[in-house]
Chains A and B, each alone.
Chain A
Amino acid sequence: MADHAQAEHKEHNLAIFRGRLKFKNNVQKIWGVLIFLSLVTCVEVALGYIKPDFLNGHFLALKYLNWIFIILTLVKAYYITWDFMHMRDEVSGLRRAVVWTAVFLIIYLIALLLVEGDYIYEIYKNAAVSSDF
């Protein structure tokens, strides 16, 4: 049992950014990922505080700014899962079983509910009865 557990964790994949950044050991990689996640969070907070006017345009019913927030969040989620939860070191079967299932169901659920929410907004907006009273 002991040997088994040891053998499983002997190797960590120490490269991030598709192999562009390599670390000497796992502890160093952890700090590297922390720095990266902190930077991304700082960018998010700065953008959220300043809210630059030129990011107020819309793409697919969302502001550019909100798209940036969502993409940065997904980036953070990737590195938390891949490096803190060591998904990078798992075999592809486990990775796909967890990630593909989640990604498919989450996109499905979100698409359904947001379209429905927008539909109800239109109904309210065009209703004969005002809600402003």
Chain B
Amino acid sequence: METTVAATGTEGQMWGGGKSPLGASYGKLMMWFFILSDALTFTGFLAAYGFSRFKFIEEWPLADEVFNHFPFMHGVDAPMFYVALMTFVLIGSSVTMVLAVDAGHHMNRKKVSFYLLLTIIGGLIFVGSQAWEWKNFIAGEYGAVQTTGGNILQFVDTNGDRVALEEFVNVGPRDVQAYGDNQGIWYESSGDLGTTYTIEEVRAGFATRPDLLIRTQHLIVNEETGASEKTILSREESAFKLENQAVKVVEGANLTENEYGVPLFADFFFFITGFHGFHVFSGIIFNLIVFFNVLLGTYERRGSYEMVEKVGLYWHFVDLVWVFVFTFFYLV
């Protein structure tokens, strides 16, 4: 052996070879560097989100109005509370994970498996919550109309409270029978029938309710409080916009349009929370694999629970990303 390796004069030094200067195993090091690169991927997404937000700084939807649902409290305005709960669930599962790692250091198989199970359950609750959040976001609540320029017009009453389309629009006669969801899909050929109401029906409904006004997506600064608010037009301006500029009804959100405002908002929401949710999902799979290995005694035989530590790092990273997603999507 010694004959094949040239002496470099660095033997015995920290980086001279034969030691692990960073004090971590190969697997752990590589997990750290994978996390670093993944963090930069998420940075790319969040920075792109920031780019679009600064580009539409006067039009970006207000998160409080978009994410205000809470389970079993239908119709109650509860901005952010549900995502705050999701944050606690994820931080909680991070804690059970780090407890599992700690139990692994003490070679306590029972405790490791118990805490891993709790972590997996926490992860499942989180992914389920995210699915529910998506469902509400996609379904929408009030409905809106879109102008030729792609801007969203929403309806409010004289107090400035949102009014849903269903409160003032009646479904008129249809020249074709709209199919139900279980009979067929009808979007491409039927134009307005992809939505519950047609734009003419919205105009007719608007005319019957003199208290209705239109709110545009344009944000103005309230001089008194300094807070950003959406512009509410006068009745005349509202009627003019609806008559001359509105072209279609928008209900809920998808990748090309959403009733909350700038379409990019929905795109980033789906993409970033979706990519994060995918990380949570894959984290659950890793945790499950390690969990079964713990039960089978694999790490007991190996003499080290380092694998728990490595998936633990990944799991904490997922929590770390969520902390930022929470801030930039729901708070800022």
Contacts and interface: CB of A to CB of B under 8 A. Distances in A.
A120 B54 CA distance: 8
Which of B55, B95, B317 has most A Cβ within 10 Å?
Answer: B55
Given A73-B327, A77-B324, A34 B226 contact: no
Contacts of A37: 91
B294 interface: no
Interface in B18-66: 21-25, 29, 32-33, 35-36, 39-40, 43-44, 47-48, 50-58, 64
B43 A84 contact: no
Contact of B84 (A26, A41, A106, A131): A41
Judged by DSSP, the binding face of B is helix
B274 interface: no
A66 B43 contact: no
Interface residues of B, number: 69
Contacts of A83: 98
Contacts, number: 166
B87 interface: yes
Which of B44, B51, B81, B92 has most A Cβ within 10 Å?
Answer: B51
Interface stretch (B2-10, B130-138, B143-151, B282-290): B143-151
Interface of B: 21-25, 29, 32-33, 35-36, 39-40, 43-44, 47-48, 50-58, 64, 79-81, 84, 87-88, 91-92, 94-95, 97-99, 101-102, 105, 147-149, 151, 216, 218, 225-227, 245, 302-304, 306, 312-313, 316-317, 319-320, 323-324, 326-327, 330-332
Give 9 nearest A-B pairs by CB, closest first. A2-B303, A56-B226, A117-B54, A5-B304, A117-B51, A113-B51, A133-B149, A94-B22, A73-B327
